[in-house]
Amino acid sequence: MTTAQRCDVSIANRREAVLKLLRRVQPAAAIAREVGVSEPTLCRWRDELLAGGEQALSAKAGKHDTRGKRIAELEREIERRDQVIGEYTIADRILKKLSDASL
C-alpha cells in the first residue's frame, strides 16, 4: 500500500476503525480489510489514539493544577488590594477629621 492510499482514510474512519477494534466488534484483520489497511497499520492507529488520549488526560490534570495556582494567586491579589483600600480608608478618615477640626 502506498502513502497516497493510506492518506485516503479519513480521521473519522480511522477513529471508527480503532473504536471497533477496542470494542472487539470484529477481529482486527476484518476491520483492517474493511478499511483497506494492513493489520499493523490498524494497531498503530490504536496505539497512537491511546497515547494521545493519555496525553490529553494528563494535560487536563496539569491544566487543573495551573487553574488552582491561578485562583490562589488571584485570591492573594484581592487580599492585598483589600489591605490597600483599608489603608486609604483610614487615611481618608484622618484627613476628614483634620479638615473638620480646622474649619
pLDDT digits (tens, 9 = 90+) for 83-103: 999 999 999 999 999 998 877
The DSSP code for 24 is T
Structural domain of 95: 3-102
pLDDT digits 0-9 by tens, 46-57: 999 988 887 777
Number of domains in the chain: 1
Note if the pTM is more than 0.75: no
CB 42 within 8 A of CB 18: yes
- What angle in degrees, to the nearest 10, is found between the helix axes of 39-102 and 11-23? 110
Position 69 confidence tier, pLDDT thresholds 50, 70, 90: confident
